[in-house]
């Protein structure tokens, strides 16, 4: 069982729960079919609002802790962005009644630290493109010590606790702590309900039965190599395209066997951001799966804001990890 009363675990569950529920409301209220293709304002508001909420709870509960968040408030402070700041403040008020625009900026900037020996890392909205398309996205918070992740929480507003896509539904929350397993509950349930169920990775050992996942956005991966990989492995199913770390949630729950982040041919120098991988990684590992880079090396979270020493990601149910790495090698991925 996971001890949800451990102070760090309790803080992370509560902060992500509140931030994600707010992001869910913002998606429902601000994203509409009338949105023009280039209008990113709903996700901008949600990104800032969610980081402010997590920054607020961290400041209250662990004032000295390091938080490496994806966002910073300087743009919001410029006079031309006053309208955006007012919108963000109005939403954050639902969680922190009476909060002022200046305080909102301070809570966002609670996350401008650089990584240290021990740090929290936050992606307030992972999968911004999914958010705008009305698809999957997640709020991801993790705690790192040294080079490895100790605790991770994922809030998934559009995924049901039974792992079904449920756009505009009540959402789910996943938590994993080193040595304590991976667990899921409803996003909006109260902490006292203790309604967490244990996640278990798929036991599939036949490569032909592997269900493969990749980014929805073709520019975030190498689509033709993903197809080549599937051929080499002998997998029969078409790769599932999905935004954000929700893919890690599905893998942890046994709803898929392999998740690849290959390097886009346009961005061979791309290195993953710590907040894009940390929470998802521990949720998969604690459910019994394995996560490495494309060369089979562990992801090293002690290298700053990016995983400088790692190329891409290969995540699996464990049993299929060696066959997956072999297939990657044979296609020179
Ligand atoms: P996904 O929806 O799984 O592709 O993950 C979304 C994340 O991909 C975003 O938060 C970005 O930080 C990250 N991303 C952006 N550009 C790239 C890229 N060229 N290659 C890989 N990931 C990227
Ligand atoms: Mg992200």
Give the pLDDT confidence of 155-202 residue by residue, as tens digits: 999 999 999 999 999 999 999 999 999 999 999 877 656 689 999 999
Task: Tell me which residues have their CB closer than 6 angstroms to ligand 1.
Answer: 126-127, 215-217, 219-220, 243-244, 264, 267, 270, 273, 276
> Are the beta carbons of 142 and 286 closer than 8 angstroms?
no
With 90 as the cut, is the pLDDT of residue 61 above it?
yes
> Are the beta carbons of 261 and 235 closer than 8 angstroms?
no
Residue nearest (by alpha carbon) to ligand 1 atom 9: 127
User: Of these residues, 9, 20, 44, 47, which one is catalytic?
Assistant: 47
Active site residue 36: no
Q: What is the tally of helices (H) and strands (E) in the chain?
A: 10, 12
pLDDT at residue 38, as a whole number: 77
- pTM of the full predicted structure? 0.97
Q: Determine the distance separating the centroid of ligand 1 and the alpha carbon of 244, expressed in angstroms.
A: 8
pLDDT at residue 177, as a whole number: 98
Rounded distance between C-alpha atoms, residue 265 and residue 239, angstroms = 19
308 DSSP 8-state letter: T
Cα 17 vs. chain centroid, distance in angstroms? 13
pLDDT at residue 308, as a whole number: 98
Min mean pLDDT across 6-10, 35-39, 239-243 is at 35-39
**From edge to edge, which strands make up the β-sheet containing 197-198?**
67-69, 118-126, 138-145, 148-156, 172-177, 181-186, 197-198
With 90 as the cut, is the pLDDT of residue 74 above it?
yes
> Are the beta carbons of 21 and 171 closer than 8 angstroms?
yes
Structure tokens at 277: 């991988």
Q: Which of 215, 244, 310 to mutate to test the pocket of ligand 1 (most atoms within 8 A of CB)?
A: 215
Please count the other Cβ atoms lying within 10 Å of the Cβ belonging to residue 301. 23
Rounded distance between C-alpha atoms, residue 68 and residue 281, angstroms = 17
pLDDT in tens, 8-33: 999 999 999 999 999 999 999 998 76
With 70 as the cut, is the pLDDT of residue 2 above it?
yes
**From edge to edge, which strands make up the β-sheet containing 290-292?**
240-242, 212-215, 258-261, 313-316, 290-292
pLDDT at residue 246, as a whole number: 98
User: Of these residues, 9, 44, 121, 128, which one is catalytic?
Assistant: 128
Q: Determine the distance separating the centroid of ligand 2 and the alpha carbon of 128, expressed in angstroms.
A: 7
Signed CA dihedral, 217, 183, 284, 207: sign only? negative
**22: three-class secondary structure by DSSP:** helix
Active site residue 300: no
């Amino acid at each position: 069982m996971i001890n949800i009363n451990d102070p760090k675990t309790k803080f992370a569950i509560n902060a992500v729960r509140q931030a994600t529920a707010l992001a869910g409301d913002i998606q429902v209220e601000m994203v509409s079919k009338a949105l023009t293709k280039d209008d990113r304002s709903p996700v901008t508001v949600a990104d800032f609002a969610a980081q402010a909420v997590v920054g607020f709870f961290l400041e209250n509960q662990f004032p000295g802790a390091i938080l490496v968040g994806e966002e910073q408030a300087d743009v919001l402070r410029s006079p031309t962005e006053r309208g955006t700041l007012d919108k963000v403040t109005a939403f954050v008020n639902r969680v922190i009644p009476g909060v002022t625009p200046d305080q909102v900026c301070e809570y966002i900037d609670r996350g401008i630290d650089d990584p240290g020996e021990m740090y929290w890392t936050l992606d307030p909205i992972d999968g911004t493109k999914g958010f705008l398309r009305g698809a999957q996205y997640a709020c991801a918070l993790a705690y790192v010590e040294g080079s490895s992740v100790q605790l991770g929480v994922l809030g998934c507003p559009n995924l049901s606790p039974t792992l079904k896509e449920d756009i505009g539904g009540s959402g789910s929350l996943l938590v994993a702590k080193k040595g304590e397993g991976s667990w899921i509950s409803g996003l909006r349930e109260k902490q006292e309900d203790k309604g967490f169920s244990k996640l278990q990775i798929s036991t599939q050992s036949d490569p032909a039965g592997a269900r493969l996942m990749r980014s929805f956005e073709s520019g975030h991966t190498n689509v033709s190599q993903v197809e080549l990989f599937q051929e080499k492995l002998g997998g029969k199913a078409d790769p599932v395209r999905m935004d954000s770390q929700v893919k890690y949630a599905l893998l942890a729950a046994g709803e898929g066997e392999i998740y690849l982040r290959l390097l886009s041919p346009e961005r061979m120098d791309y290195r993953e951001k710590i907040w894009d991988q940390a929470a998802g990684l521990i949720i998969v590992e604690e459910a019994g799966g394995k996560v490495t880079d494309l060369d089979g090396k562990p992801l090293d979270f002690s290298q700053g804001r990016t995983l400088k020493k790692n190329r891409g990601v290969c995540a699996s149910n464990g049993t299929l990890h060696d066959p997956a790495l072999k297939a990657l090698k044979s296609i020179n991925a």
